[in-house]
Amino acid sequence: MPKCNIGDRVEVLDKPNWPDGGYKIANWEGTIVEIIENPAGYVVMKADKTGYNMMFHKKEFEQIQPSIKAEQISDHDETLGFIDALQRKTKGNSSVYVNLDIYFGYIYK
């Protein structure tokens, strides 16, 4: 059984013999939000796709590494939102000068 901690990223494994068109939540990703003590071996994952908390046995998923690309897109979107807000605020005022020094850094565990 994989060792897992709250905050770990996981992906739900496929169940090849699942009836009626296959296991619909196979390959879903999420974050572990709770370790269940009783019954042992279960965790609660918050699914990225729906935002729902779902309980799985530890054998039903595999741990994955966070996507650096996803983090970069997320940071990029926040920066663009900030720039858009500045542009709306200063629209029509040609005397406004804005200088932005932006540092993009990542923290790896």
Domains and CATH numbers, the chain: 9-63 (2.30.30.140)
pLDDT digits (tens, 9 = 90+) for 83-99: 666 666 666 665 656 55
The helix (H) or strand (E) run that includes residue 47 is: strand 42-47
Candidates 35, 33, 34, 29; CA nearest to 66 is 29
In angstroms, the CA 34 to CA 12 distance is: 16
Whether residue 64 contacts residue 9, with contact meaning beta carbons closer than 8 Å, is answered with yes
> What are 48-80's pLDDT values in tens digits?
999 999 999 999 999 987 655 444 444 445 556
In the predicted model, is pLDDT for residue 43 greater than 90? Answer: yes
Residues 72, 77, 83: CA angle, nearest 5 degrees: 125
